[in-house]
Amino acid sequence: MTASAETHDSIRAVQWQGDHLRLLDQRLLPGEERWIDCRDAAQVTQAIRDLAVRGAPAIGIAAAWGVAMAAQQGAPLEPVLAMLRAARPTAVNLMWALDRMKKRIAAGADADALLREAQAIQDEDLAANRRMGELGAALIAPGSGVLTHCNTGSLATAGYGTALGVIRAGVAAERIARVYAGETRPWQQGARLTMWELVRDGIPAQLIADSAAAHLMKSGAVQWVIVGADRIAANGDTANKIGTYQLAIAAKYHGVKFMVVAPSSTVDMATGSGEEIEIELRDPAELLSTAGHRTVVEGAQAWNPVFDVAPAELIDAIVTERGVIERPNSIAMQVMFGC
C-alpha cells in the first residue's frame, strides 16, 4: 500500500478493549464522535439493532466480539448466539460470523480461543478490504468519476472499506478524479457517514440528493457506480441499501458501469436468487422524521424497506477478495464460490 493510500485510511470504528467492545456511535455522526462501551453481549445486540454499529462486515465483527466477550464472562453461549442472530435479518455477514464462532465452540474452544477467533475475523476483513480496493481500482480508467451509495467505508467494516475502499485505492492511484455520494435517506448514511469519512481522510467529494443520481449520470460526470452489499445470492443478485436497485437501472440506461464490492463472507450460495432474500422493514417513524424531528403531517403512514435487490444482469462486476466476477451469473458464481 502506498503512502498516499495510507493517508486515506485513518478510521477504526470497532475496537476491542481487552474486556469490552468499544463502538463509534454512528447515529450521532458527524455532529458528535461518541463511543459506546458494550460490556456484555446484550449491549452488543442492542447496538446492532439500533444501528449504532452498521454495515454488514462491521455487524459480523461486532457479533463475534459479543460471543467472545460472553465466553470470557462465563455466560451460556447458545442463548447469546440466538440473541445476536436475531438482531438484523438481512446482513449475511452476521450469520457467517456467528456460524464461524459456533463452529469453534463446537470444537471445544475456550474463551481465549474465541477471543483469537474474533480478532482473526476482524483482521481478515481489513486485509480483504485492502485487496478488494486494489482489484476494484484496477477496473477503473484514469480520470473517472464515481458515485457511491450509503456507507461502505471504515465505519461499516474493520477498516478501509469495501466500495469506499475501492474509492480510496482509486484516488490514491490517481484513477478516480471525481467522487459523488448520494445522501441515502432516511438515515442519510451517505450524507452523515460517507462524507464524514471522505472529508476526514482528505478525499475531495460532492454530496448529491438521492433523486439527482440519474441526472448526474446523464451529465457524463460518472463512469462507475460503486456500492457494497449486505447479501449476494448464488446467481449474483445483490441485496444492498434501499435505493441501490434504482441506481443500477439508471446506470444501465446511461451506459454507466455498476460495481458491487463485498467480502466473500457476504456471498450466500445457499440463497439461489434475490427473490429468496428477506428484506428488512423498519419502523415507519424513521421515514416520517429527520434527525428525530417530525417532518410529515401527523396521521400520515409510511413504508420503510431498508434494502432492495439489484439483479445480476444489471451488475458489471462483483469484486471480492477472491477475485473479480465480470457480468455475474450462476455459473461464474459457482466457479468462484461453490467450493
Active-site choice (201, 230, 308, 316): 230
Based on the residue annotation, tell me whether 230 is a catalytic residue of this protein: yes
d(C-alpha 105, C-alpha 31), whole Å = 40
Coil, strand, or helix at residue 237? coil
CB 157 within 8 A of CB 128: no
d(C-alpha 187, C-alpha 207), whole Å = 15
Pairing of strands 35-38, 21-24: antiparallel
d(C-alpha 44, C-alpha 73), whole Å = 14
The DSSP line for 17-78 is -SSSEEEE-TTSTTT---EEEE-SHHHHHHHHHTTSS-SHHHHHHHHHHHHHHHHHTT--HH
Q: Report the run of H or E that residue 4 belongs to, with start and end.
A: helix 3-6
d(C-alpha 225, C-alpha 124), whole Å = 26
What's the gap between Cα 1 and its chain centre? 22
Find all residues with CB under 8 Å of 310, minimum gap 6, and list them: 227, 237, 238, 240, 244, 245, 247, 248, 258, 260, 274
Q: Which residue has the cell 474509492?
A: 167
Cis preceding-peptide flag for 30 (omega within 30 of 0): yes
Q: Which of 179, 205, 160 is nearest to 5 (CA)?
A: 160
Cross-strand bridge partners of residue 16: 21
Cross-strand bridge partners of residue 259: 226, 317
Kindly report the backbone phi and psi dihedral angles of residue 184, in degrees, each rounded to the nearest multiple of 5, phi listed first.
70, 70
Q: Which of 115, 142, 145, 311 is nearest to 216 (CA)?
A: 145
Residues tagged active-site: 230
